[in-house]
Amino acid sequence: MKGFWDIVNFSKFLLVCALTAGLSVAGLSPAQADDKLVGEALKYFNAKNYTKANTLIDQHLAKNPKDANAQYAKAMILYRMGHYIKALQRLEIVLKLSPKNHNAATAYARINQQAVYHLNQGKNEDAIALANHSVDIMPKWNSMEFRVAQAGCYFAKGTAYFERWCLSNDPEDSRIAMESWEKTRDLDPTSATQQLVNGINSFVSGNYTLAKKYFDEGLTVRKENKYLQLWDAFANASVGETNRAVAQLNDLASLFRRNPVLHLYKGDIAKQTGDFDTSRQEYTIAKDLRPTDHRIPVALRTLYLCANQVNDGLTAYDEQISQAPDNFNPYYQKACLLKEAGYFDEALGAYNTIASSSNFTPVQVASAKVGMALIHFERGDSKKAMACVTPEDLQTLRSSNSPMSLLYAAYAESQSALREKACREALLYSGPDAMFVQRCAFNSLAEIEASRKQYAKAMECLYQAWRRTASISSQCTAMRDQFESYKADTRKQLQAEMRKLEKGKRPDKEEALQKVNANLEALNTLDLGEAGTMFFQIQGSSVGTNATLVPKSLTGNMGAITSDSLKSSSWVNITPDWQ
């Protein structure tokens, strides 16, 4: 398995040729051919009889332990035998004997990467220890060769911490990984790490098109770089190039078999395309790899909804509860599934089971109470809703940075400006259950815009809520009815505007009438389409802080309303779990 960071063609770099004079290994002088044992070792090396070559070179080193060139040859033999750690130990000896041996430094960096990769497949802590050690021992000479070798060690360190982040979801691991890759970029600006770092930064900020551009550029520089390939697949999935993303992720699955994020993406794409069995398999793999990740239970819950297997989901949660009565997650997922499937009374009972239990934390209890309140809000009973949650509950949620306090405010605040502020803050949430949080926020925003008689904006907000609603949800009918109501109100506004224009004497009267007519015609074609058109559950989605909530084409006189403008998602971001 070749390393991911490509300095040179390693097979050529390590090529040992048999010349008529004897020995010739990169970093070794032909003078060593005078030594019979080393010459014989080379002969067997070229014949791929590494065991015999190893025996002979050991005999030479027993008498000449400070022969740096022979130690280098020993390292190459060990490398060919697959003993990466032992090869690295020999190269460390070479660097101590010959500190400016750039061939040894380059070989060390390359073999180190391969050793780290193999350790990542089950022994990640050992990989991290080796990666940190390699950075420490690599000579810090400022020549190009040594800077490139140092860059290789930092890249390996980045991969080790990235793989641990994939398993741990610890932000500190992601920070160290990015810092290590940034150090790689600074030491070797010509490497593809420049594009990798820039692409990841763009991806995290929600600019997937720019991220994809960087990743594609990087792959033209180092097409073998597997981390570029992986992030490029994530970017392709996020911009809608599903088929290409699937092909890339399938190709990478054997290399990143212990990477839960890859399996989460594969599960999401399979769910989008209706392959629910594959989706469940991928989510199960991800759950086994990262059992503490709260996004995975959410992904499985939405799978039950998308696959119209609510009863199967409820049965699964009941089994989990019976096996672990003190585990909060199955209780909460069951309550959420019941709510989203439209079983409101049963959902209230499930939330109440959490709220009345002494087994759960104050944050978990408060979250369940807000869940009950949201049901009452959606039923139009604000009095019951507000009786569910105490000021202490809200303070507990705020202290834990839970989005549930924002959702409560999005419905409970009496002033529309404060409601809107809470909604917009909720839309920035990209953690577990982001789709649910954002759907509620968009629903509330739709109500706010309608109360301001901004019905076109209300339609856009409702459409964004619709996109985050499972197709079998009981709320679909109500949302369709509400959408049609907003359409009717918008039509009345446009008709009133037309009557006003017809009676007036504006110099641009004809142009204004044409625009209103275009809006009326386009309005008749608007439809919500299918629910859940964007269902990347593990990443969630968020509206960037600089985003415009409603496209200008949906603000009345500013342009014509079109079906495409409702379907536009240019301002809707899907963010990853790299925070």
* pLDDT tens for each residue of 56-96: 888 888 888 888 888 888 888 888 888 888 888 888 888 88
Q: How confident is the model over 122-167, as pLDDT tens digits?
A: 787 888 888 888 888 787 877 777 888 888 888 888 888 888 887 7
Q: How many Cβ atoms sit within 10 Å of the Cβ of residue 175?
A: 12
Q: State how far the Cα of 338 lies from the Cα of 334, in Å rounded to an integer.
A: 6
Give a yes or no: residue 301 inside a domain. no
Q: State how far the Cα of 279 lies from the Cα of 385, in Å rounded to an integer.
A: 36
Domain boundary among 159, 191, 223: 191
Amino acid at 96: K
Give a yes or no: residue 231 inside a domain. no
Q: State how far the Cα of 530 lies from the Cα of 471, in Å rounded to an integer.
A: 7
Give a yes or no: residue 282 inside a domain. no
Q: Does 439 share its domain with 575?
A: yes
Q: What is the pLDDT of residue 357?
A: 92
Q: State how far the Cα of 159 lies from the Cα of 180, in Å rounded to an integer.
A: 9
Which one of 101-105, 338-342, 469-473 scores highest in mean pLDDT? 338-342
DSSP 368-425: HHHHHHHHHHHTT-HHHHHHH--HHHHHHHHHTT-THHHHHHHHH-SSHHHHHHHHHH
Q: 494 with 523: CB under 8 angstroms?
A: yes
Q: What is the pLDDT of residue 530?
A: 56
Q: What is the pLDDT of residue 568?
A: 34
End-to-end CA, the chain: 30
Q: What is the pTM of this model?
A: 0.66
Q: How confident is the model over 478-516, as pLDDT tens digits?
A: 788 888 888 888 888 888 888 888 888 878 888 888 888
Q: Does 372 share its domain with 518?
A: no
Q: State how far the Cα of 549 lies from the Cα of 542, in Å rounded to an integer.
A: 11
Range of the domain at 353: 309-398
Q: State how far the Cα of 95 lies from the Cα of 76, in Å rounded to an integer.
A: 14
Give a yes or no: residue 67 inside a domain. yes
Q: What is the pLDDT of residue 561?
A: 33
Q: Does 389 share its domain with 480?
A: no
Residue 448: helix, strand or coil by DSSP? helix
CATH classification at residue 143: 1.25.40.10
Q: What is the DSSP letter of 557?
A: G
Q: Does 472 share its domain with 361?
A: no
C-alpha angle 88/91/92, rounded to 5°?
A: 90
Give a yes or no: residue 274 inside a domain. no
Q: Does 419 share its domain with 465?
A: yes
Residues forming beta bridges with residue 19, ordered by sequence position: 22
Residues forming beta bridges with residue 573, ordered by sequence position: 542
Q: What is the pLDDT of residue 375?
A: 92
Q: Which residue has the tokens 């104050």?
A: 362
Q: How confident is the model over 213-254, as pLDDT tens digits?
A: 989 988 888 888 888 888 899 888 887 788 888 898 888 888
- The pair phi, psi for residue 573, each rounded to 5°, is -100, 145
Tell me whether residue 277 is exposed, middle or buried, using C-beta atoms within 10 angstroms of its C-beta: 0 to 12, 13 to 18, 19 or more. Answer: exposed
Domain boundary among 128, 160, 191: 191
Look at 14-23, 48-57, 558-567 and tell me which has the smallest mean pLDDT.
Answer: 14-23
Give a yes or no: residue 281 inside a domain. no
Q: Does 345 share its domain with 321?
A: yes
Domain boundary among 398, 416, 434: 398
Residues forming beta bridges with residue 22, ordered by sequence position: 19
Q: Does 363 share its domain with 447?
A: no
- The pair phi, psi for residue 546, each rounded to 5°, is -100, 10
For residue 566, is pLDDT > 60? no
Give a yes or no: residue 283 inside a domain. no
State how many domains the chain has.
Answer: 3
Residue 352: helix, strand or coil by DSSP? helix
More confident residue, 186 or 365: 365
Q: Does 57 share its domain with 185?
A: yes
User: Which residues have C-beta within 8 Å of that of residue 203, sequence separation ≥ 6?
Assistant: 211, 231, 234, 235, 238, 576, 578
Give a yes or no: residue 284 inside a domain. no
Q: Does 365 share its domain with 435?
A: no
What is the separation of C-alpha 218 from the centre of its chain, rounded to a whole number of angstroms? 19
Q: What is the pLDDT of residue 21?
A: 24
What is the pLDDT confidence band of residue 1, given thresholds at 50, 70 and 90? very low
Q: In 3-state terms, the chain is what percent helix, strand and coil (to 5)?
A: 70, 0, 30
User: Which residues have C-beta within 8 Å of that of residue 140, sequence separation ≥ 6?
Assistant: 146, 150
Q: Does 486 share its domain with 540?
A: yes
- Backbone conformation region of residue 34, classed left if phi is above 0, alpha if psi is from -120 to 50, else beta: alpha
Q: Does 509 share its domain with 383?
A: no
Q: What is the pLDDT of residue 470?
A: 66
Q: What is the pLDDT of residue 528?
A: 73
What is the pLDDT confidence band of residue 13, given thresholds at 50, 70 and 90? very low
Q: Does 32 share its domain with 180?
A: yes
Q: State how far the Cα of 68 lies from the Cα of 547, in Å rounded to an integer.
A: 61
Q: What is the pLDDT of residue 471?
A: 61
What is the pLDDT confidence band of residue 319, given thresholds at 50, 70 and 90? very high
